[in-house]
Amino acid sequence: MKKQILTILLIFIIYPSISQSSKKSKIDSLINEKEVENFVRSIDYYNYNFDYENFIISNIQKVKTKYNEKYFLCKKIADSLNVTKSFYKADFDKNGLTDILVIGSNYYFSTFVIMDFGNDNLKIYRLTRKIFPEFAVPEIIKKDNKTLINYYYIEHQNWREKIKKEDIIKKTLIYKFGDFIEYNGNPKDYNIEKIEFQTSMCFGKCPVFNIKIDNNKNATFIAQIYNKNRKEKEIQGEFKTIIKEEDYNLIVDLLNYIDFPNLKDDYAVGWTDDQTSFLTITYNNGKVKEIRDYGLIGTFGLDKLYDLFFELRFNQKWKK
């Protein structure tokens, strides 16, 4: 009887891992650059002209631009890390399906990961943020039993300046909270009491709004202008709700993971006419952390946090 019980337990323990490892992804069948190129085009209209003709690292000798110095340094670093291919496969979320890291060109230099979540659910995550070109070399590594990406790059505003060694930034990224953010091997646990997120106008139709949330999940949303999604008309005015627990916990957990008190107080991109965000967090018995971010890409973690606040405008039951 004991042997039968043990056998049954082993089946329950072993079978899921066998089933998981036997999963196949469309990405598994991709062999060469042309196949990856066609695959990218097939799942994302944004990459309709994606190609490797100007692939920065492997075809560096073909690039003719005033940024040659940066490109050759890019290749030098890539060679030192043995990053010689235009795509690399890995399982970044440990779901048993193969994901793919792609380096190529879509008007501008582009580095991104295509994740496979099963049942033909494929999603692109861009490591190169916004549309402007930047020096970048991604390297897949293993750390703490996790598959991570070392991402080497130069800030956008440094592109027209003479490059210095200290300009090169390295960030280690992990797939977590539904995106690639900076890896933190020792997350903190702050007592977050209140969160406020506010946006400004830009040269265009950037949504201008303010959201305040307390630690009881009570929230106020003030929609000023350009707050509209694809399914609804533009909304304006003041609204209140109790934030869904899973959405609130996601925001708080992300804030703790990115160690928000130790982030800079001010971030800014190197171009003009963009939008500014203002993040104010009250925590640990009245301490206050304020972050101003012109361009809304101060860090990968903040970028994800801003996305969550933009989504809150339409994924909650707001009452006017």
Query: What is the number of structural domains in the chain?
Result: 2
Q: How far apart are alpha carbons 271 and 156 in whole angstroms?
A: 9
Q: Which residue has the tokens 């989504």?
A: 311
List the chain pLDDT tens, one digit each, 320 residues.
555 555 544 444 544 544 444 567 789 999 988 888 788 878 765 544 444 444 445 554 454 555 556 666 777 778 888 888 889 999 999 999 999 998 876 556 678 899 999 988 999 898 887 655 556 789 999 999 999 999 988 765 544 556 666 677 899 999 999 999 999 999 999 999 999 999 999 999 999 999 999 999 999 999 999 999 877 789 999 999 999 999 999 999 999 999 999 999 999 987 888 999 999 999 999 999 999 999 998 999 999 999 999 999 999 999 99
Q: Are 51 and 143 found together in one domain?
A: yes
pLDDT at 107: 54
With respect to residue 13, please indicate whether it lies within any of the assigned structural domains: no
Instruction: Tally Cβ neighbours within 10 Å of residue 187.
Output: 11
- Measured over the CA atoms of residue 149, residue 174, residue 37 and residue 137, the dihedral's sign is negative
Residue 250's SS3 state is helix
Q: Which of 195, 142, 148, 189 is nearest to 170 (CA)?
A: 148
The residues near 309 (Cβ < 8 Å, ≥ 6 apart) are 197, 211, 251
With respect to residue 232, please indicate whether it lies within any of the assigned structural domains: yes
With respect to residue 293, please indicate whether it lies within any of the assigned structural domains: yes
pLDDT at 54: 44
Q: How far apart are alpha carbons 155 and 133 in whole angstroms?
A: 10
Q: pTM (2 decimals)?
A: 0.85
With respect to residue 229, please indicate whether it lies within any of the assigned structural domains: yes
With respect to residue 222, please indicate whether it lies within any of the assigned structural domains: yes
Q: Are 63 and 139 found together in one domain?
A: yes
With respect to residue 19, please indicate whether it lies within any of the assigned structural domains: no
Alpha carbon of 258 to those of 189, 192, 283, 289: distances in Å?
11, 13, 15, 13
pLDDT at 313: 96
Q: Are 93 and 122 found together in one domain?
A: yes
C-alpha torsion angle, residues 157, 131, 35, 27 (rounded to 10):
90
Q: How far apart are alpha carbons 66 and 313 in whole angstroms?
A: 43
The residues near 97 (Cβ < 8 Å, ≥ 6 apart) are 23, 24, 25, 27, 91, 116, 117, 118
CATH of the domain at 219: 3.30.1560.10
With respect to residue 17, please indicate whether it lies within any of the assigned structural domains: no
Q: Are 262 and 298 found together in one domain?
A: yes
- Encoded amino acid at 216, one letter: N
Q: Are 177 and 198 found together in one domain?
A: no
Q: Are 32 and 134 found together in one domain?
A: yes
Domain region containing 35? 26-182
Q: Are 177 and 54 found together in one domain?
A: yes
**Residue 314 half-sphere exposure, CB side, CA atoms within 13 Å?**
14
C-alpha torsion angle, residues 259, 263, 269, 275 (rounded to 10):
70
Looking at 182, 203, 218, the residue that finishes a domain is 182
pLDDT at 93: 96
Q: Are 136 and 254 found together in one domain?
A: no
Q: Are 128 and 261 found together in one domain?
A: no
Q: Are 153 and 262 found together in one domain?
A: no
Please write down the HEC assignment for all residues of 73-119: HHHHHHHHCCCCCCEEEECCCCCCCCEEEEEEEECEEEEEEEEECCC
